[in-house]
Structure formats: C-alpha cells, structure tokens
Structure 1
C-alpha cells in the first residue's frame, strides 16, 4: 500500500531521544524514579517519570502534542478541556503549560492517574488539573459536564482473534506492560464516539489519534451504520504520520512474528492498513481526526 512508508521527522526525534527509555533496567526499590523529557516546540518541555505499568510517550503522543501546540488558539484554551485516557498525563500537562485553566484528565488505571498527579507536581510544583479514575466520561466529577476541547489517544490495535488472545493470556508476563493493553481499540473507539455527543459543547471539537491497525474505515463505518441517517458527529482528517511499529521490550519482540501474522490477517480482511519496507519493518499510519457536531443530523437524533 503506497503512502505508508514515508519517514517522519518525529520518528527520527523519537529514536534519538526516547527509544533508550524502553530498555530494560534494574528494578531497585531504593533507586530514584527515572525521568525523561519530552519537547514539543516553542520552548515547551514536559518531564515525565518512567514507571512500569504506564505507557511512556510514543511517536504518536509526540505528534498529537505537537498538533495541539500548533493549532489550539486562545479561545479554546479559555474553555474546558478534557484528556480521555490521560496515561502519564503528558497532554493534560502540555495544555496547562500552554495556559489552559480548566483541565480534566481521566484514565481507567489508578496507577496512571497517580503517576499523572506526580508528574504535574514534578513539572509545576502544585496541582491544578483534575485527574480522576474511571472509564471514559464516567470519571467526570459532574456526569453532565460538557467540554470545549476533548482529546483522546486510544489503544492502537483492534480486537484480537480468539487464537491470538489465548496465546497472549498464556504468555503474559506480570512484570511487563501487558501486550493485550494495545488491543481492543475498535471497541473502545466506538464506545467513546457513542458517549462523546453528551459531553461535547455544540461549538466544541474532539481531536482523536487513530492507528491504522485499528481499522479506521471499518470503525467509522460501524459508527455511522449504528445511527443510520442521523449520525450526530462528522469527521475530518487533520494530519497524518507514518511510524514504524515498535516493540517496547524483549518480551514483546519475542512474540513479534505472531503479532505480524495477526496483522496480516486483518489487512487481508480490509480491517487494517500498513506497509512493509524492504527490511520487513512495518509502518502504520497515525491519523489525527477532528470530531465535531453534525448539527443538522444531531438535531434529528437528539432534538
């Protein structure tokens, strides 16, 4: 498939400054927490604690952060911002550094929320962001709260086959970030899109980062079909990057052939898109998509 193997400057930046962070390291309980810096431009840098069990920032996270920095204007920063699946909190922290005043970050992982809180204190010396534990919008302090800007960077891969799931469950290492944490992106994305209209202001927008291994056309098609001719949201491609598939530890690298076999089946079924270069490196497409109200259809669906 043409157009998926161009090299982004973000890939080179990531290899130079961050790839070493994924190397295995001694787990001495007395060792000070290891931290690394992420630079987004315009002098804005966020320092993050490196902790097992919480995703480190990826090339995709850097791309989304760079887009936020480039495009969010003052009026949006004055509004209410929500970072769904905040993880380390890096995007919420970037929003605060940019001047946003009202920020909520949610994550289903209590460990991730705890780390995000620590990262905010590390960078700013105090707490202003509301970090909460919960599934998508259920974690909001006010369940009816609506936002001007919503950011979501979901897990990148679609639901695994039964055979692959059984294989992953059999070999998962409790001391590693579970490989299964990268799957189920299609189901999570559908759930997010179903709930989003209840929490997005009429003039607001959501910016979501989609991995072509989730099956973007398939997922958006399923969403539209669920709503027939009254789809409340409309979508627009904002930016696209091609990234090599990275395996974050030796454990992941050992099972790479089995994962690549699964991805090949998805592509044959037209449920994923990627390209392989001459060395066999897989390149996937990271696509930043804007979701806004389809006002005419929304009036019919929710009016």
Structure 2
C-alpha cells in the first residue's frame, strides 16, 4: 500500500493537477470533516439550552416583579390599616381615660382601691368594726353579695392568680377558680341578682352564664352542662342557675367560677369561705375593696327598710335637685 494518496484535480485549461497527500494528513482531514457537524450540533444544542434557560429566567424575573408589585400593594394596604387602627386606638384611649375618671368617682363612693395602694398592715379594727355590724346588716350583705360555694365540689383543681394553662402550657393569670365536679351537679346562685348573660358555645369558656348582683358585684360560671335560668331572670340566693359540665376548652368536668367588682376580678376563694360564722374573714382577706363605705351604704338601706316597715318615714333633711333641703316640719306642713 502506498504511503501517499494521489489526488487529481482538473483545471480550467483541461490540464490535470496532481496532489499527493500523506496518509496521516488524509486521516486527519477525514476526522476533521466528520467532527465538524458533530461540533456544530453541540454548539447548536448548547445555544438552544442557553436560550431556554434565558427564557425561563426572564419568566421567573417577570413573576418576581409581579410578586413584588403585589407585596408592595399589600404593604401599602397594611400601612393604611395600621394608620386607621392607630387613630381608632387613640380614640379608644381617650374614651378609656374618660371612663377611668368615671370609675374613680364610683370607687370613691363604693370604696374600690388598687392593691398596691392599700395598707395591708392596717388592723381590721381600724378598717371596720365587724362586731358593731348588727344582724340585719349581716344578713343583708350575705343575701346580696356572693358568698359560700356555688356548688358541692370535689376539689379545687386550679386557684386564682398566675398559673400554667393545663392545655396550652403557657403562663397566664387565672381570673377565677376551678372546682371539679360530677357532670350534672347543680350550680346555685351565691346571692340575689339578675341573670345577665346566657351564652351557649363549644369553644373557650363553653356554655357561659353571668349574674349581676347588687353594689357592683358580678359572678360568672363557665364550662356548664345545661342552663337552668334565662337571661333577664331574677334569681334569689340558692336558686339553681345551671349544671356543671365539660363544655368548651376543658380537660374534664369542672366549674370555672369568677367574682368581679366593677369589672375587676377578685379572689373567689375569699367569698367561698365567707359565712355567718366567719363573717369578718372577707374583710381581712380581700384587700382590693374598702368595705367600710359599702357597709355604711348597706346599713342605711337596712335602716330605711326598718323605718318604712314600722311607720311612714320622712328623712329629717331631703336634698332636692336644686340642692335645697326640705326639713321634716316643712313636709308635714304641706300635708
């Protein structure tokens, strides 16, 4: 086999031109000729992939721009809502300040003070002379202000104050006291009053009932089984309000019992332990209430009732709307 390949190329003049190529050069040329379309195909494929990636990137970029525009619009909407809420909060703050002034006026009459402002070292004798309170006043207070247990309970599962929530596990202030019971146990009114709220529910406090008592006191009952009283119904101490249950967010049958005075929570345990035999107990324990003005008010009401029962009663001096005093003699002279 010859080592060279002869290639004859005809010219325009009819002559022949002969080229002699070595085998290595020939094979190289053949390989290059074969590799060229392959390389061209690879370049084309690479270019096509780049175009696809570019198209995908452009689509993603457009989507991001659209998402950005949506987020900016949402942010602007939230800023506007925050502005509206800020204005509403400011209005409510003003209303609360006005309400606070009114509450202070009521506290001055009924005797509610903050626990921090109360002198816990003050002897009971200086706060109120419990022995001087006659039986009629005692009976009236125990009739109108919540006292004794609202039901026969098994045990206290959770006391008043800070605690760890049995379901959420978070620390919070427990505004009442939890009394375990058998489902269907009767719950009795701890004082005379009027049923205010009767709210059935499967969430939170579950079936819920409140009673409005005299002198600013209120009692509430949660996780009830069945209601036995209606909203607007007047109840006497000892009347059946509902039955104990396990409704709402609860780990077992129990009563969540609260007592409030002018909307502020008090420790129900003090009122559960308050009884005729232990009459001065609540005065010693409940430091959020100045009892003396309240007892004076109850005493005046009892005295008025006694006077009206015994004989027609005319106060020695009656203040009219014009702040003018009319004496008993003047009243008699008009008759």
User: So what's the TM-score if we normalise by structure 2?
Assistant: 0.21
Greater relative contact order (Cα 8 A, min sep 6): structure 1 or 2? 1
User: So what's the TM-score if we normalise by structure 1?
Assistant: 0.22
Q: Which has the larger radius of gyration?
A: 2
